[in-house]
Structure 1
Amino acid sequence: MNRPRRVALLAGLLLGLSGAVLAAPQHAITLYDEAPKYPASFKHFDYVNPDAPKGGTLRLSDFGSYDSLNPFIPKGNPAAQISLIYDTLTFHALDEPFTEYGLLAEKIEKDPQHKFVRFYLRPQARFHDGTPVTADDVVFTFETLMSHGDPMFRNYYADVDKVVVEDKLRVRFDFKHAGNRELPLILGQLAILPKHWWATRDFAKTNMEPPLGSGPYRIAKVDPGRSIRYERVKDWWGNDLPVNRGFNNFDAVVVDSYRDLTVALEAFKAGQFDFNEERMAKNWATAYDSPAVHDGRIVREELHNENPWGMQGYAFNIRRPIFQDRRVREAIAQLFDFEWTNKQLFFGSYKRDGSYFENSEMAAHELPDAEELKILEPLRDKLPPEVFSEVYRPPVSDGSGIIREQKRKAYNLLLEAGYKIVDDRMVGPDGKPLSFEFLLVQADFERVLLPFKRNLAELGIDMQIRRVDVSQYINRLRSRDFDMIVSSWAQSNSPGNEQREFWHSSSADKPGSRNLIGLRDPGIDALVEGLIGADSRESLVRHARALDRALLWGHYVVPNWYLDTWRLAYWNRIARPEKLPPYSYAPMAWWQAREKAEPTTGKPAGQPADAGQEAP
């Protein structure tokens, strides 16, 4: 054999070997093939108490009610904490940006070109009836969710071509395209359903029969409209796995339903449930003046939250003709006075949300650099011109409640759009008044909307606030029967395929999708696909910033506010690990510390653990 040919064959052999090494089954996988934080020999995560005692009952609350025990379909309102009964293929680490460790899957094999992912199931994995979890169950789960599940699944896993059973404990997902780095990781987040149990049941229908799972808890009692009780599976197959050590410490988890958040808070202070994540600035500032707080039985903490916040805002349904003009949307946004609202209603504790990736490096708070412009330039004719030359800033007032400058700008924008004042009403080119309905489910939010409504009315714009119950609200959102709502789009440290569900044209007409705005924009579609296909962290950040700019300058929402802390209040009968992960307060790693809450001494009760942080 001549030397050049020998060299070529050797090079090919080495390349093949390196690919085989990269594709070797692993105990964990990461987005960009970096080494995971925890080696294959790890015993437990750093943020748990591996010796936490087992026992007791964790009592929680939920807003609204439930009428379904199937969280996977676009019907009904599923019970809170229902995920406790299910296991997923992998376990998402809470102290890494995006790493998945094996749970049902003992090993994961990711193709170097990201054309497939293979899961090797644990032979000891069992459903609660003792039936083994097999590759057939994985295929059944995926195919059922894609055909009968919530539309989110079809968008999230759109790039999967087929699922192949290779043997009883080995299953492979083949992809339509190479290069989708996120897809192997999010496929690992599938909650696996028992094929044999669903064989005699209609998956597409809501019902109150407790489903069969394989997770650490099973449903013990169902009381629709009032509560649900989960009990820990004592002989759960996954008890001894490193990813589970220190978790699932309570013998039971009980969730009570409340239809009024004020009533729920009073119930918490009376000891009816153990833990409350406070989301109302007014409550956090004024409503915890109680004996249990003063003597330390109720602990209050503010913990730093390093998660990207995403966007919360008053969302326009641009399927409505009145909201299809960008200038009209911008004009309405000018009339929300955040500074006054924050000062008068929120005790100055919120920060203004100015990005769809707020509280992260992915937020577009500076002009695009040369590399980001390379992403944007091919789309110049499809994006607002400001994307290339300006940094988006929400309007800012002096907090006095007088917003003459914003009203002037809003008025001029409406004039440009063909509107005029007729009999103190803002009337459009079609002769119809500018009037719309704000659909609301939370009574406490009305006090925030009323000043906004007054500002709109001073410019002749009529906004009617309509509050409905939870079931009606969900149905109207799914059928897109609304003008404007308050909504939020949470983001992870590694955004990807879920962005199709949020912004892509393919999700605009799918009932139940998260494309509530009704976006059908080829420029945004291209940016979403570019983000999903990013091949490095640097590329991901730049694509996220580019998408952020396009969404912001489209004026699709009136940006609200955000916080970078969790506000937690809990009775001291329960305790948490000393070290919590940066991306979660890991509630299922807490445990019962004593039979009942007791007064304490030491640090003054109610003093936040992170006193320097702003708390909304």
Structure 2
Amino acid sequence: MTIRLFPPLAVLAMTMLAIPPGLGAEPEWRHATALVGEPKYAEGFERLDYVNPNAPKGGTLNLSASDSFDTLNPIPAKGDLAVGLELVFETLMTSSEDEIAANYGLLAEAVRFPEDYSWVSYRLRENARWHDGEAVTAEDVVWSFEQTVAHNPQREFYYRHVVKAEKTGPREITFTFDEKNNKELPKIVGELLILPKHWWEDAEGEPRAIDETTLLPVMGSGPYRIANIRPGESMTYEKADDYWGKDLNVNVGRHNFDRVTYTYFGDRNVEFEAFKAGDVDFWRENEAKRWANSYDFPAATEGRIIREEPENLYRSSGVLVGFIPNLRREKFSDPRVRRALNYAYNFEEQNKNLFFGAYQRIDSFFYGTEFASSGLPEGKELEILESLRGQIPESVFTTPYENPVGGNERDVQANMRANLREAISLFREAGYELRDGRMVNAKTGEPFTFEILLNGAIIEKVALPYAENLKRIGVDVSVRVLSDSSQYQNRLRSRDFDMIYFGWSQSMSPGNEQAEYWGSGAADREGSANYGGIADPAIDQLVKQVAFAEDREMLIATVRALDRVLLAHHFVVPTYTLRNSRLAYWDHITHPEELPYYGLGFPDVWWFKGNE
């Protein structure tokens, strides 16, 4: 999961950039950055390889979204943000979808940093403009950063190493860091949204509240502006004909639709019916049963609906999804209890009966990537773990991680009974016992009960059988489905839950975000991505080593070591994933013959066929 934040800056003379003392000669300006190898596209390139430079322009793209929204302000951690705002706001740099962790100039035309990565400077494009025609300035960048870290705890933590942000020239901004040799820091400050200071600070003489939710049509600098808002129901974006960046090489062949509309649905099945009726143009299927059985309607059988299963999007990402216990609850503090919870989950039966055999069981926090650990540690990975021996579970050195197998073709029930017996044994080791069919604390007699909190009903069919299995060993589990997404988000942010079903996405260049996921500093911070509340000194040390890995080989070894330690603590009951997208779309929209290797290019490089 890449975390998008905002930038800080530095003040200097009008004629030249001041270089922090002791760093020697000024570094050269670059058009791009890459964390893996060198940027694919040389300075002055004409366009990205995967776009159609002659893609026709025009038409309206009708999309759908789930639940609702109540804010258009991306800064504070408040409310449910409307989808599609990336069409309105821009960042200093933008990524390409046929490379791993490579960024090219967008609002900024160039970037530079010293060999020790202790600071980074960005130079804005002279013609960059807001939708009202005002220039995008260095002051906007500084202000955006300052407001973000002031009003969003997650962003503040992510940018904790930025100690100074200054304007250092008419169009130059410098970020200074409190540590050296963290290669990712220059990149992540370039990926953050930039907002117009003058729009937020001058609404007919009265400032708008940047720290509050709003449904005002916010202004940006991107290829689209907000055309229509129906609060909680729909958002319409229309192309900005005077968009300043339409001829940039990174934008050739992109932004081909005149209008993009998102309609919100509170029920996923109703949303699918809208797609079948032609009211929605594009559908990403997330239900195996529906993908297998529900595409027999006329438009699909007649070929007017196109179905594809590309793996592109998953070539650049890993994932962990599952049931996450809240470690802040004393009942989940013992790893034997958490391990017992895994023995009650029967993936094999669900995959057969619910998922048509389409899914794979997740067995890594970096599943689907080269960072996933397997077997026993060796080489550099073993050296890293040996330095932490005594601080990490001994099983890391002796026992490869494996999920319990909940079923087999011969005797599913016998296999599951054996797993439940093992779960009871682990509970017993942790100080619990069965009394009158209930799992209770052997000393206090308190029953072991908890609630699984779900955001909507789609995972209910997964959670209910899991809860029933736990009840078979005396653990009283309830499943609560919240239909109001904002209520779920508020409980998630405030850690008001026993167990949730959630997960993390991982890029092919893990770095500073790992502290946000597993670091002690994020464990008790409201709104962080450390949902379970992991707080472990050895894990903190590994997270820091990931950020400072000197080369790709060491990065892989360190992340695999981190993966092993996380798995050995049984922080999550891993569930399942699919390593390809399931796409369905009406034949009046289309895409380049070759999608970008690491993405779908949607909707950026797609177009309306009726204009060909």
> TM-score, normalized by length of structure 2?
0.92
| 1:408, distance to aligned residue in structure 2 (A) | 1.7
**SS class of match (2:324):** strand
| Alpha-carbon contact 2:346-2:407 (below 8 Å) kept | no
Task: Between 524-533 and 384-393, report the one with greater CA deviation.
Answer: 384-393
Q: In 2, Cα distance between the equivalents of 1:303 and 1:155?
A: 35
| Alpha-carbon contact 1:19-1:112 (below 8 Å) kept | no
| 1:107, distance to aligned residue in structure 2 (A) | 0.6
* Residue 435 (1) aligns with residue 449 (2): yes
* Residue 456 (1) aligns with residue 470 (2): yes
Matches within 5 A, 1:445-484: 445-468=459-482, 469-484=484-499
Q: Which amino acid aligns with 2:447?
A: P
| 1:334, distance to aligned residue in structure 2 (A) | 0.6
Matches within 5 A, 1:379-458: 379-399=388-408, 400-402=412-414, 403-429=416-442, 430-458=444-472
* Residue 193 (1) aligns with residue 190 (2): no
Change (3 A) 1:401 1:275: farther
Could you tell me which residue of structure 1 aligns to residue 519 of structure 2?
A: 504
Could you tell me which residue of structure 1 aligns to residue 609 of structure 2?
A: 593
Q: In 1, Cα distance between the equivalents of 2:335 and 2:531?
A: 17
Q: Which amino acid aligns with 1:420?
A: E
Could you tell me which residue of structure 1 aligns to residue 381 of structure 2?
A: 372
| 1:580, distance to aligned residue in structure 2 (A) | 1.1
Q: In 2, Cα distance between the equivalents of 1:427 and 1:385?
A: 28
* Residue 27 (1) aligns with residue 34 (2): no
Q: In 1, Cα distance between the equivalents of 2:468 and 2:492?
A: 25
Matches within 5 A, 1:251-270: 251-270=258-277
Question: Which aligned segments of 4 or more residues in structure 1 are displaced greater than 3 angstroms?
Answer: 18-21
The C-alpha deviation readout for 1:174-213, integer Å capped at 9, x for no partner, is: 1101011011111110111111112211111111111111
Task: Between 321-330 and 586-595, report the one with greater CA deviation.
Answer: 586-595
Could you tell me which residue of structure 1 aligns to residue 368 of structure 2?
A: 359
* Residue 248 (1) aligns with residue 262 (2): no
Q: In 1, Cα distance between the equivalents of 2:217 and 2:515?
A: 32
* Residue 303 (1) aligns with residue 310 (2): yes
* Residue 112 (1) aligns with residue 91 (2): no
* Residue 69 (1) aligns with residue 78 (2): no
| Alpha-carbon contact 2:374-2:401 (below 8 Å) kept | yes
The C-alpha deviation readout for 1:539-594, integer Å capped at 9, x for no partner, is: 11111111111111111111011111011000011001111122210101101002
The C-alpha deviation readout for 1:395-431, integer Å capped at 9, x for no partner, is: 1133424402211211110110111111110001331
| 1:166, distance to aligned residue in structure 2 (A) | 0.6
Aligned residue among 490, 504, 508 for 1:489:
504
Aligned residue among 53, 68, 89 for 2:92:
89
Q: In 1, Cα distance between the equivalents of 2:141 and 2:559?
A: 32
Q: In 1, Cα distance between the equivalents of 2:32 and 2:24?
A: 17
Q: In 2, Cα distance between the equivalents of 1:366 and 1:533?
A: 25
**SS class of match (2:91):** coil
Task: Between 35-44 and 346-355, report the one with greater CA deviation.
Answer: 35-44
Q: In 2, Cα distance between the equivalents of 1:456 and 1:218?
A: 50
Q: In 1, Cα distance between the equivalents of 2:386 and 2:220?
A: 49
| 1:19, distance to aligned residue in structure 2 (A) | 7.8
Aligned residue among 55, 60, 67 for 2:58:
55
| 1:370, distance to aligned residue in structure 2 (A) | 2.2
| Alpha-carbon contact 1:65-1:226 (below 8 Å) kept | yes
* Residue 280 (1) aligns with residue 283 (2): no
Q: In 2, Cα distance between the equivalents of 1:505 and 1:89?
A: 30
| 1:595, distance to aligned residue in structure 2 (A) | 7.0
| Alpha-carbon contact 2:57-2:611 (below 8 Å) kept | no
Could you tell me which residue of structure 2 aligns to residue 572 of structure 1?
A: 587
| Alpha-carbon contact 2:56-2:611 (below 8 Å) kept | no
Q: In 2, Cα distance between the equivalents of 1:123 and 1:442?
A: 46
Q: Which amino acid aligns with 1:154?
A: E
| Alpha-carbon contact 2:75-2:147 (below 8 Å) kept | no
Task: Between 246-255 and 190-199, report the one with greater CA deviation.
Answer: 190-199
**SS class of match (1:382):** coil
Could you tell me which residue of structure 1 aligns to residue 541 of structure 2?
A: 526
> Percent identity at matched positions?
46
Q: In 2, Cα distance between the equivalents of 1:268 and 1:535?
A: 48
Extract unaligned runs of 5+ from structure 2. Answer: 1-20, 202-206
Could you tell me which residue of structure 2 aligns to residue 314 of structure 1?
A: 323
The C-alpha deviation readout for 1:53-103, integer Å capped at 9, x for no partner, is: 110111111110000001221110010111210111001111111111011
| Alpha-carbon contact 1:225-1:257 (below 8 Å) kept | yes
Could you tell me which residue of structure 2 aligns to residue 606 of structure 1?
A: none
Q: In 2, Cα distance between the equivalents of 1:116 and 1:504?
A: 24
Q: In 2, Cα distance between the equivalents of 1:428 and 1:569?
A: 51
Q: In 1, Cα distance between the equivalents of 2:222 and 2:525?
A: 31
| Alpha-carbon contact 2:89-2:220 (below 8 Å) kept | yes
Extract unaligned runs of 5+ from structure 1. Answer: 1-15, 597-616
Q: In 2, Cα distance between the equivalents of 1:552 and 1:487?
A: 16
| 1:471, distance to aligned residue in structure 2 (A) | 1.4
| Alpha-carbon contact 2:345-2:406 (below 8 Å) kept | no
The C-alpha deviation readout for 1:324-382, integer Å capped at 9, x for no partner, is: 11111100111100011101100000011111111111000232122112212222222
> TM-score, normalized by length of structure 1?
0.92
Q: In 2, Cα distance between the equivalents of 1:523 and 1:581?
A: 38
Aligned residue among 160, 163, 166 for 1:164:
166
Q: In 2, Cα distance between the equivalents of 1:212 and 1:130?
A: 11
**SS class of match (1:314):** strand
Could you tell me which residue of structure 1 aligns to residue 530 of structure 2?
A: 515
| Alpha-carbon contact 2:322-2:502 (below 8 Å) kept | yes
**SS class of match (1:501):** helix
| Alpha-carbon contact 1:527-1:543 (below 8 Å) kept | yes
The C-alpha deviation readout for 1:236-266, integer Å capped at 9, x for no partner, is: 0000001011111101100000111111111
Q: Which amino acid aligns with 1:451?
A: P
Q: Which amino acid aligns with 1:394?
A: N
| 1:155, distance to aligned residue in structure 2 (A) | 2.1
Q: In 2, Cα distance between the equivalents of 1:560 and 1:72?
A: 32
Q: In 2, Cα distance between the equivalents of 1:537 and 1:156?
A: 22
Q: Which amino acid aligns with 1:188?
A: G
* Residue 205 (1) aligns with residue 212 (2): yes
| 1:477, distance to aligned residue in structure 2 (A) | 0.4
| Alpha-carbon contact 2:58-2:611 (below 8 Å) kept | no
The C-alpha deviation readout for 1:201-228, integer Å capped at 9, x for no partner, is: 1111111111111011111111012100
| Alpha-carbon contact 1:351-1:563 (below 8 Å) kept | yes
Q: In 2, Cα distance between the equivalents of 1:170 and 1:90?
A: 14
Q: Which amino acid aligns with 1:565?
A: N
| Alpha-carbon contact 1:114-1:178 (below 8 Å) kept | yes
Could you tell me which residue of structure 2 aligns to residue 581 of structure 1?
A: 596
| 1:307, distance to aligned residue in structure 2 (A) | 2.5
Task: Between 398-407 and 438-447, report the one with greater CA deviation.
Answer: 398-407
Matches within 5 A, 1:229-248: 229-248=236-255
Q: Which amino acid aligns with 2:391?
A: K
Q: In 1, Cα distance between the equivalents of 2:225 and 2:92?
A: 18
Could you tell me which residue of structure 2 aligns to residue 340 of structure 1?
A: 349
| Alpha-carbon contact 1:309-1:562 (below 8 Å) kept | no
**SS class of match (1:552):** helix
Q: Which amino acid aligns with 1:296?
A: G
**SS class of match (1:318):** coil
Q: In 1, Cα distance between the equivalents of 2:286 and 2:24?
A: 49
